[in-house]
Amino acid sequence: MNITSGIIPCAKKIVLYGPEGIGKSTFASKMPDPVFIDTEGSTKNMDVKRLDAPEQWADIFEAVKYVRQNPDCCKSLIVDTADWAEMLCIKYTCEKGGVNGIEDFGYGKGYTYVQENFKKLLDSLNEVIKLGINVMITAHAKMRKFEQPDEMGAYDRWEMKLSRQVAPMLKEWADMVLFANYKTFVVEDDKTKSKKAQGGKRVMYTTHNPCWDAKNRYGLADCVDFDYEAIKSVVETTNEKPKRQTKKAEPKKEPEKPAEETAVDQDDPNTVKTEVVNKLRELMKKDGIESKRLEYAVATKGAYFFGTPFETYDPEFIQKSLIEKWDGFVKYAKKFKKSDIEDLENDPFSINDKEE
């Protein structure tokens, strides 16, 4: 077990929500080299890159899968919006459960299934984050009356327009939850003493308040202008890990490693990854294990989401869990039918039926 310290640069997970028409999509378009998964058609009049508009829940996974397999296509992935994506998730959940509506599952059960399915989308987006690609999810806001059980009275509170099961999970997943709204100014007439609201400046709240949910881990001011410049310095930090510095030592003759071990330069993580990936390719070719079969078998073990290219797996996982246990893994992978793999490509959630 190693103990490390210091800041770890990484891509950002951002949730942005606010009232309809405030400019969430426009704000998201300012992210570094964005590509949109447009669930509601809000980017039709914007000059942005977008993937095919999803018509079904599985289409969103296909779009995320494309970004994982083509990480150079963008620097930021935008899911616009979460509440429309959740509607596709609900439709999928009902179809899979053979019911007409989400309430037909019984009290509370339907939305629990929706939460489980939506979590799989967040898990898939985590794989995008690991590739150094920022992820922003937008959502509409709704207002509801909120009553504290130990206090008198009630007040209006802004929340994400999502089910009560999905919204908390999405907030926990994000590094930043940003709430955009209009800030009005009350002006009092000197003569009549009457008060009226004027203006409507757009602002963004970054910390929690009894009237809205928000958070950030980067020391942002509580309220900032609704402008990408307010978070630019946080988002556009390098995601590259600094190279490890080593002291020069007197050259000495290293003992030869056994033939079955992979000789790698321990100071160069890229060399390590290349070596183990090439070794894995050789084993796959020798035993006739195609990439889809390998990725399927790995997914059934819960190590990586199906569709994650094996070339992006952690080198240590490849070495210890695949190469060093190859004979057993081959037997396990070959027991699956080709139709099993094809079914999973068409239905990302059928993996539940294949797990041991």
pLDDT tens-digit profile of 124-169? Answer: 999 999 999 999 999 999 988 765 555 545 678 899 999 989 999 9
Domain boundaries, the chain: 13-235, 269-353
Q: Using pLDDT thresholds of 50, 70 and 90, give the confidence band for residue 68.
A: very high
Rounded-to-integer distance, Cα 105 and Cα 111, Å: 9
Q: Residue type for 215, please?
A: K
Report whether 202 contacts 23 (CB < 8 A). Answer: yes
- Residue 128 is predicted with a pLDDT of 95
Average pLDDT over residues 254-269: 44
Q: Is a pLDDT exceeding 60 seen at residue 249?
A: no
Beta pairing class for 134-146 and 155-160: antiparallel
Rounded-to-integer distance, Cα 113 and Cα 91, Å: 11
Rounded-to-integer distance, Cα 309 and Cα 169, Å: 27
- Residue 340 is predicted with a pLDDT of 77
65 vs 107 pLDDT, higher one: 65
Beta pairing class for 34-38 and 49-50: parallel
81 preceded by cis ω (within 30°)?
yes
Q: Is a pLDDT exceeding 90 seen at residue 254?
A: no
Phi, psi of 63 (to 5 degrees): -65, -45
Q: What CATH number labels 13-235?
A: 3.40.50
- Residue 159 is predicted with a pLDDT of 93
Average pLDDT over residues 107-135: 92
Candidate ranges 3-12, 18-27, 258-267, 299-308; pick with highest mean pLDDT? 18-27
- Residue 193 is predicted with a pLDDT of 64
Average pLDDT over residues 253-262: 46
- Residue 4 is predicted with a pLDDT of 79
The percent of residues above 90 in pLDDT, for the chain, comes to 51
- Residues paired with residue 160 on neighbouring β-strands, in sequence order: 141
Burial category of 1 from C-beta neighbours within 10 Å (exposed 0-12, middle 13-18, buried 19 and up)? exposed
pLDDT mean across residues, the chain:
82
- Residue 246 is predicted with a pLDDT of 41
Q: What is the pTM of this model?
A: 0.64
Q: Is a pLDDT exceeding 60 seen at residue 255?
A: no
Rounded-to-integer distance, Cα 208 and Cα 158, Å: 11
Q: Is a pLDDT exceeding 70 seen at residue 221?
A: yes
* Cα four-point dihedral sign 198, 203, 208, 211: positive
Q: Is a pLDDT exceeding 90 seen at residue 39?
A: yes
Q: Is a pLDDT exceeding 60 seen at residue 245?
A: no
Q: Rg for the chain (alpha carbons), in Å?
A: 25
